[in-house]
Amino acid sequence: MSSRTPLMAGNWKMNLNHLEAIAHVQKLAFALADKDYEAVEVAVLPPFTDIRSVQTLVDGDKLKIKYGAQDISAHDSGAFTGEISGPMLAKLKCAYVAIGHSERRQYHGEDEAVCNAKVKAAFKHGITPILCVGEGLDVRKAGNQVAHTLAQVDGALEGVPAEQAETIVIAYEPVWAIGTGEVATPEDAQEVCGAIRGRLAELYSQELADKVRIQYGGSVKSGNVAAIMAQPDVDGALIGGAALDADEFVKIVRFRD
């Protein structure tokens, strides 16, 4: 049994305004306000406009729910209209930031160099990156999912020192499974998550690789999460659609119940 604490993170994408966000987090807090979920870390990644409201609620009520952002600028400040910087997210006490989500890669052209710069920006400001990697359907059909995903890991970690890399979270999210209802089999998830851990051992050390949490993401629901979490190299889930339904998200978090 691994000593890694599972991380269940809800990626709200561009959903829920700040008032809806407060109501949603209150529901989560109420449903998780007992000891049972202490062995699982819970985080929400709301849109930027909600983060201050979530922070006020979480800090004010001393909730154990963590929160973070869905993206970060590679730059600290300056003429980058529309972007949000690491110092701004750090000021809001964001614990996590998703980097390289497939929707950022697809719609905003984020490549390995951009992801690498964003990973470094997050670490610079004390925010833990949730690095999203994973193959599209064509790559999967060609059987190249492992090589493709490991190349994304290599690119994003270029020049990242071990003392930072050991705290990163990596989310394996096959693009064909995101928002499609088409979940990877537990064996598919294990194949690539295991390969990612192997690559971390090659890049750094086995000791470091054993510390890093690797999530699976892609149509995770309460009905499929337990089988995925039973895999030895899966340490949590990044949850999109199902995280918008507080009751369903709580069921996912309580996958051991």
Residue 123 in 3-state DSSP? helix
Query: Is residue 125 flagged as an active site residue?
Result: no
Q: Which of 228, 161, 168, 241 is nearest to 192 (CA)?
A: 228
Q: Please name every residue paired with 171 in a beta bridge, in sequence order, or none if there are none.
A: 132, 215
Is 241 known as a binding-site position?
Answer: yes
Q: Please name every residue paired with 42 in a beta bridge, in sequence order, or none if there are none.
A: 8
Which position has the token pair 């951009």? 114
Of 73, 85, 215, 219, the one binding ligand PEP by CB under 6 A: 219
Of 23, 49, 126, 179, the one binding ligand PEP by CB under 6 A: 179
Q: Which of 10, 7, 1 is nearest to 213 (CA)?
A: 7
In the complex, the smallest distance separating the C-beta of residue 220 from ligand PEP, rounded to whole angstroms, is 5
Does 223 sit near ligand PEP (CB under 6 A)?
no
Is 85 known as a binding-site position?
Answer: no
Query: Is residue 173 flagged as an active site residue?
Result: yes
Does 134 sit near ligand PEP (CB under 6 A)?
no
Candidate list 24, 101, 125, 148, residue with the active-site label: 101
Quote the DSSP letter at residue 185: P
Does 220 sit near ligand PEP (CB under 6 A)?
yes
Of 71, 110, 173, 233, the one binding ligand PEP by CB under 6 A: 173
Amino acid found at 42: V
Residue span binding ligand PEP (CB under 6 A) among the ranges 33-41, 150-158, 193-201, 234-242: 234-242
Residue span binding ligand PEP (CB under 6 A) among the ranges 50-58, 187-195, 213-221, 227-235: 213-221
Residue span binding ligand PEP (CB under 6 A) among the ranges 150-158, 189-197, 204-212, 214-222: 214-222
Give the rounded distance of the alpha carbon of 223 from its chain centre.
20
Does 218 sit near ligand PEP (CB under 6 A)?
yes
Q: With contacts defined by CB under 6 A, how many residues of the chain interact with ligand PEP?
A: 14
Candidate list 41, 103, 135, 173, residue with the active-site label: 173
Residue span binding ligand PEP (CB under 6 A) among the ranges 34-42, 61-69, 149-157, 240-248: 240-248
**Cβ(32)–Cβ(64) below 8 Å:** yes
**Cβ(28)–Cβ(64) below 8 Å:** no
What torsion, rounded to 10 degrees, do the Cα atoms 24, 132, 215, 247 define? Answer: 20
Of 239, 246, 250, 252, the one binding ligand PEP by CB under 6 A: 239
Quote the DSSP letter at residue 58: H
Over the range 20-57, which residues count as b (16 or more CB within 10 Å of their CB) and which as e?
Answer: ebbebbeebbebbeeeebeebbbbbbbbbebbebbbeb
Nearest residue (CB) to ligand PEP, 128 versus 208: 128
In the complex, the smallest distance separating the C-beta of residue 11 from ligand PEP, rounded to whole angstroms, is 4
Going by the annotation, the residues of the binding site for substrate are 11-13, 179, 219, 240-241
Active site positions, annotated: 101, 173
